[in-house]
Chains A and B, each alone.
Chain A
Amino acid sequence: MVMASVTTIASHLTSTFLYAPEFCRLSQSLHTSQRPCTRKSVSGTISANIDLKPPPYALDALEPHMSKETLEYHWGKHHRGYVNNLNKQIEGTELDKMSLESIILASHNKGDILPAFNNAAQVWNHEFFWESMKPGGGGKPSGELLELINRDFGSFEALIQEFKLAATTQFGSGWAWLVCKCLFHQIYNQKLEPIFFNVYFCVDDLEDKKLVVLKSSNAINPLVLGSYPLLTLDVWEHAYYLDFKNLRPDYISTFLDKLVSWDAVSSRLEAAKVSIEGK
């Protein structure tokens, strides 16, 4: 079944896939808010201008659990800095024409990391992080997400324990993630030569996929780890120091109790099931 879908996908794709609306919508599926897709051109003349995307809520909307001051620095300085530095770095290079996800994969370079990676990945990670939270967040997931959590962790409480452990024990700077371990597909051009970088996405049903907790250091994210991200928590000290000082465990608990958007996680899970086949 997998081989059939890979062949079907391969036969539908050309080297312009990554500029095509399909890939754009795929990358959009990882973000719940409906930002208009700007990467529609297939002729390869898109200019970089990676955007500084605002969180889907006001900077004071997460108070008292995450202060406005934190958002002002974290989004307004750190995230903004990554965007500005990335745009400076990629201007006039071949990365300049690519989507953010493509820049991340290309600059990750299978682990032999190129200069743009840190900025690109951090831009993506922070966008994903803002969308992983909402005012009045917390509570429990429901529906299919809860079923899969129960299937893969035993219980919601077990997931929480594992997520807390990952976030607490990520030494130094980094991130904790809930991901779906998906099949990895290599994209070929019409001559069936592998295209330079690889694309990760989930197809069809999620029977043999597993939900897993991961932790990563610095800018590393699941896109380069062969997994489909569903949720993240930033555990760089800048994410919590103003509100919690050294007390990272309190920050992690507050995130899980008051901020996490299980709706966003459910949407991302839903999007993971979208097949590229037939588009």
Chain B
Amino acid sequence: MALRTLATRKTLGAFSTFPQQLRGLQTFTLPDLAYDYGALEPAISGDIMQLHHQKHHQTYITNYNKALEQLDDAIAKGDASTAVKLQSAIKFNGGGHVNHSIFWKNLAPTKEGGGEPPHGSLGWAIDQSYGSVEKLIAKMNAEGAAVQGSGWVWLAVDKELKRLVVETTANQDPLVTKGPSLVPLIGIDVWEHAYYLQYKNVRPDYLKNIWKVINWKYASEIYEKECP
């Protein structure tokens, strides 16, 4: 099952009666997962995967598209204050779409390599920076558990400085809000919706178990692209 992100082109000008430039607005659709909802069990339950993908991620996309259309409209009318007011909706929902699209790729069933530690240059870089994969995981779990409220914990590579970084972001802020040269390798969603049905209040157990289905192969590909 190939992973694909669909984008549809929608032309506004065709329906407009105003003499304005023809402009295409790209809207977004829900990307497919490369695995079945139940394929990450017992680390993450099928119920959670289905709700998380079909409800939460879809809602971000729906609201992102709506905000983009409103923004497009405001720009066309020269309505600066509306355009600015829409920024938080775009950050919330666009960030939600960006983050979750990365997240699905960060996960893989164990029989497809999920949980298998990184080899190659990423494995080496982790050992150099953190001592071992286990120590990196411990650090990420500590920081992920400490996120107040909703957010994400990330393993990133700084593409300018060519070094690994562990970061957290609040709500759906994308990683770039913590540094423009940060490229996400692994993001772990620590919003309660990501684990509550299965792990309830025990976020540390969720963090401990999710590493069994983390797709280090994907993280390595991204790393090797930024640090050849």
Give the interface of A toward B (CB within 8 A). 73, 77-78, 81, 118, 171-174, 217-219, 236-238, 241-242, 245-246
Fill in one digit per residue for B79-116: 1 if any A CB lies within 8 Å of its CB, else 0: 00000000010001000000000000000000000000
Contact yes or no, B171 A73, CB < 8 A: no
Contacts of B56 on A, CB cut-off 8 Å?
246
29 contacts between A and B (CB under 8 A): A73-B200, A77-B201, A78-B201, A81-B201, A171-B88, A171-B92, A172-B151, A172-B171, A172-B191, A173-B148, A173-B149, A173-B150, A173-B192, A219-B148, A219-B149, A236-B149, A236-B192, A237-B191, A237-B193, A237-B196, A238-B196, A238-B201, A241-B192, A241-B196, A242-B196, A242-B197, A245-B55, A246-B56, A246-B59
With contacts A77-B200, A171-B92, A242-B196 known, is A237 near B51, CB below 8 A?
A: no
Contacts of B172 on A, CB cut-off 8 Å?
171-172
Contacts of A241 on B, CB cut-off 8 Å?
192-193, 196-197
Contact yes or no, A238 B192, CB < 8 A: yes
Fill in one digit per residue for B151-162: 1 if any A CB lies within 8 Å of its CB, else 0: 100000000000
Q: Is B170's beta carbon under 8 Å from chain A?
A: yes
With contacts A73-B200, A245-B51 known, is A218 near B148, CB below 8 A?
A: yes
Q: Measured between C-beta atoms, what is the minimum distance from B104 to chain A in Å?
A: 17
A77 CA to B56 CA, complexed, in Å: 25
Nearest B-chain residue to A238, judged by Cβ: B192
Contacts of A218 on B, CB cut-off 8 Å?
148-149
Q: Measured between C-beta atoms, what is the minimum distance from A218 to chain B in Å?
A: 4
Nearest B-chain residue to A72, judged by Cβ: B200
Nearest 10 A-B pairs (CB), nearest first?
Answer: A173-B149, A237-B192, A172-B150, A218-B149, A172-B171, A77-B201, A246-B55, A241-B196, A173-B150, A171-B92
Interface residue tally on B, bucketed by range? 20 to 34
Fill in one digit per residue for B52-72: 1 if any A CB lies within 8 Å of its CB, else 0: 000110010000000000000
Contact yes or no, A217 B149, CB < 8 A: yes
Q: Measured between C-beta atoms, what is the minimum distance from A106 to chain B in Å?
A: 18
Nearest B-chain residue to A245, judged by Cβ: B51
A171 CA to B59 CA, complexed, in Å: 13
The residue from A78, A118, A174, A246 contacting B193, defined by CB atoms under 8 A apart: A246
Contacts of B151 on A, CB cut-off 8 Å?
172
A182 CA to B151 CA, complexed, in Å: 33
Nearest A-chain residue to B202, judged by Cβ: A77
A219 CA to B149 CA, complexed, in Å: 8
Contacts of B92 on A, CB cut-off 8 Å?
171
A237 CA to B139 CA, complexed, in Å: 25
Contacts of B148 on A, CB cut-off 8 Å?
118, 173, 218-219
A242 CA to B201 CA, complexed, in Å: 11
A173 CA to B147 CA, complexed, in Å: 11
Contacts of A173 on B, CB cut-off 8 Å?
148-150, 192
A218 CA to B192 CA, complexed, in Å: 13
Nearest B-chain residue to A80, judged by Cβ: B201
A218 CA to B150 CA, complexed, in Å: 8
Contact yes or no, A171 B149, CB < 8 A: no
A173 CA to B51 CA, complexed, in Å: 18
Q: Measured between C-beta atoms, what is the minimum distance from B54 to chain A in Å?
A: 9
Contacts of A237 on B, CB cut-off 8 Å?
150, 191-193, 196
Contacts of A73 on B, CB cut-off 8 Å?
200-201
Nearest B-chain residue to A173, judged by Cβ: B149
Q: Measured between C-beta atoms, what is the minimum distance from A198 to chain B in Å?
A: 24
Contacts of A174 on B, CB cut-off 8 Å?
149
Contacts of A171 on B, CB cut-off 8 Å?
88, 92, 171-172
Within 8 A of A (CB), among B203-225: none
Contacts of B59 on A, CB cut-off 8 Å?
246
